[in-house]
Amino acid sequence: MGTVVAQTSMPTPDRLAQPTLSASPSQADKGAQVYWLACLPCHGDRGQGLTEEFKQTYPEEDRNCWNSGCHGARPYENGFTLPPSIPPVIGSGTLQKFPNATILRSYIFATMPWWRPASLTQEESWQVTAFLLRENKLWNAQEDLTTSNADLILVGAPVATATPQPSAAALTVSPLPIIIGFIILVLVLLLLRMLRKK
Ligand code: HEC
């Protein structure tokens, strides 16, 4: 009975609360912390991107992100301009432009967080990449993500493997300009000859 009472009086989980770390956190667990600290305000508590619904978790005065003075065209000192939309990073159809985890990690390291690019340490960038991969079910996170295995973890749509005979197509097309060029050359030579005879 006591447990039932305890359960019903539990507060609803705070969506913006810091994730708890276990005694021996994995790389991806640490990545969840990095995400919470450096990415969540823009990419959402579930990686959904800056959606209208997510913005409702903000204090009322902060919900219009593109108000000039804050993140609009003329941000105040220490403010910064935000692009009009912030993409999701977790869920189906996300991260499509990154063929593999190496490229994703490099992108994150070089460009994120948006307002202060390249401010993560190398280690943090690996951790947060491992977290995103795990949340997207692309990586079981049993071992650490490193330079030696990241190439093998495919992220976005795989590059088309079957390229149907591009060389054959090029061959069937290419003779035409050559023939035309040859005809023009012959005509020019004929013309020159006629002119010389006159
Ligand atoms: C201040 C807001 C902001 C923060 C904080 C931020 N991002 Fe971003 N992020 C953006 C914006 C804006 C884009 C779109 C950039 C573009 O398209 O050029 C983006 C794009 C991305 C993309 C590419 C998504 C795609 O499919 O195009 C990834 C991955 C990403 N961010 C990861 C992160 C990670 C990881 C962090 C935390 C370390 C982070 N971001 C922090 C604003 C932010």
- 130 Cβ inside 6 Å of ligand 1: no
The answer to whether residue 10 is domain-embedded is no
The answer to whether residue 9 is domain-embedded is no
- Residue-level pLDDT at 68: 79
- Residue-level pLDDT at 31: 97
- 133 Cβ inside 6 Å of ligand 1: no
148 CA to centre of ligand 1 in angstroms: 25
Q: What is the mean pLDDT of residues 11-32?
A: 89
Q: Is the pLDDT of residue 12 over 70?
A: no
Task: State the CATH number of the domain containing residue 34.
Answer: 1.10.760.10
The answer to whether residue 165 is domain-embedded is no
- Residue 69 CA to residue 142 CA, distance in Å, equals 45
Predicted TM-score (pTM) of this structure: 0.78
Q: Which amino acid is at 172?
A: T
- Residue-level pLDDT at 176: 80
The answer to whether residue 180 is domain-embedded is no
Q: Is the pLDDT of residue 127 over 80?
A: yes
The answer to whether residue 5 is domain-embedded is no
Q: Is the pLDDT of residue 105 over 60?
A: yes
Q: Which residues fall within 8 angstroms of residue 155, CB to CB, at 6 or more apart? A: 95, 98, 99, 100, 101, 103, 104, 133, 136, 138
- 15 Cβ inside 6 Å of ligand 1: no
CA-closest residue to ligand 1 atom 25: 95
87 CA to centre of ligand 1 in angstroms: 7
- 120 Cβ inside 6 Å of ligand 1: yes
pLDDT, tens only, 183-192 = 999 999 999 9
pLDDT, tens only, 55-77 = 999 888 888 888 878 888 888 88
Number of independent structural domains in the chain = 1
